[in-house]
Amino acid sequence: MNKLFERPLRIGVVPILDGSGGGIYQYSVSMLEGLLAIEPRPELVLFADRRSWGRAAAWVKRGYQVAPLLPQTVRWRLHTAARRVVGFVLVGKVVARPGPFLDDRPAGVSTHNRVRAQSPLGKWIASFGVDFLVLPAPSSIGFEWGVPYVMAVHDLQHRLHPEFPEVSANGEWENREYLFRNGIGNALTVLVDSEVGREDVLDCYGEVVSAERIQVLPFLPASYLNAATASLGADSVRERFGLPERYLFFPAQFWPHKNHVRVVQAVARIRAERGVEVDVVMCGSAADPLRASVLDKVHRTAADEGVQDLVHLLGYVEDDLMPPLYAASRGVLLPTFFGPTNIPVLEGWALGVPVLTSDLRGIREQCGDAAILVDPNSVGAIADGMYALWSDERLRGELISAGTKRLARYGRSDYVARLSAIICDATRRVREAAPVAGPGALTEKQMAAPNERI
pLDDT at residue 19 in the model: 66
Question: What is the C-alpha to C-alpha distance for residues 146 and 93, in angstroms, rounded to an integer?
Answer: 12
- Using an 8 Å Cβ cutoff, are 13 and 35 in contact? yes
φ/ψ of residue 435, rounded to 5? -60, 145
pLDDT at residue 444 in the model: 36
Mapping DSSP onto H, E and C, the string for the chain reads CCHHHCCCCEEEECCCCCHHHCHHHHHHHHHHHHHHHCCCCCEEEEEECCCCHHHHHHHCCCCEEEEECCCCCHHHHHHHHHHHHHCHHHHCEEEECCCCCCCCCCCCCCHHHEEEECHHHHHHHHCCCCCEEEECCCCCHHHHHCCCEEEECCCCHHHHCCCCHHHCHHHHHHHHHHHHHHHHHHCCEEEECCHHHHHHHHHHHCCCCCHHHEEECCCCCCCCCCHHHHHHCHHHHHHHHCCCCCCEEEECCCCHHHCHHHHHHHHHHHHHHHCCCCCEEEECCCCCHHHHHHHHHHHHHHHHHCCCCCEEECCCCCHHHHHHHHHCCCEEEECCCCCCCCHHHHHHHHCCCCEEEECCCCHHHHHCCCCEEECCCCHHHHHHHHHHHHHCHHHHHHHHHHHHHHHHCCCHHHHHHHHHHHHHHHHHHHHHHCCCCCCCCCCHHHHHCCHHHC
∠ CA 289-294-299, nearest 5°, is: 120
- Using an 8 Å Cβ cutoff, are 182 and 273 in contact? no
Report domain extents, the chain: 3-73+88-220+411-443, 227-408
Digit-by-digit pLDDT tens for the chain (454 residues) are: 344 446 789 999 999 987 666 678 889 999 999 999 999 999 999 999 888 888 898 999 999 999 999 886 544 454 445 444 444 333 334 444 434 333 333 333 345 556 666 667 888 998 999 999 999 999 999 999 999 999 999 999 999 999 999 999 999 999 999 999 999 999 999 999 999 999 999 999 999 999 999 999 999 987 777 665 676 678 888 999 999 999 999 999 999 999 999 999 999 999 999 999 999 999 988 889 999 999 999 999 999 999 999 999 999 888 888 889 999 999 999 999 999 999 999 999 999 999 999 999 999 999 999 999 999 999 999 999 999 999 999 999 999 999 999 999 999 999 999 999 999 999 999 888 754 433 333 333 433 433 322 2
Question: What is the C-alpha to C-alpha distance for residues 315 and 328, in angstroms, rounded to an integer?
Answer: 18
pLDDT at residue 376 in the model: 97
Residues 6+ apart with CB under 8 A from 251: 283, 284, 322, 325, 326, 332, 334, 344, 347
β-bridge mates for residue 48, sequence order: 68
Which amino acid type is present at position 176? R
Question: What is the C-alpha to C-alpha distance for residues 153 and 16, in angstroms, rounded to an integer?
Answer: 14
CA-to-CA separations, 362 to 251, 357, 365, in angstroms, rounded: 20, 11, 5
Q: Do 3-73+88-220+411-443 and 227-408 show the same overall fold?
A: yes
Q: Does the domain formed by 227-408 have CATH 3.40.50.2000? A: yes
Instruction: Give me the CATH topology for the region 3-73+88-220+411-443.
Output: Rossmann fold (3.40.50)
Closest CA relative to residue 67, chosen from 15, 102, 106, 18: 15
∠ CA 23-19-243, nearest 5°, is: 90
Using the Cα atoms of residue 369, residue 374, residue 380 and residue 385 in order, give the sign of their dihedral: positive
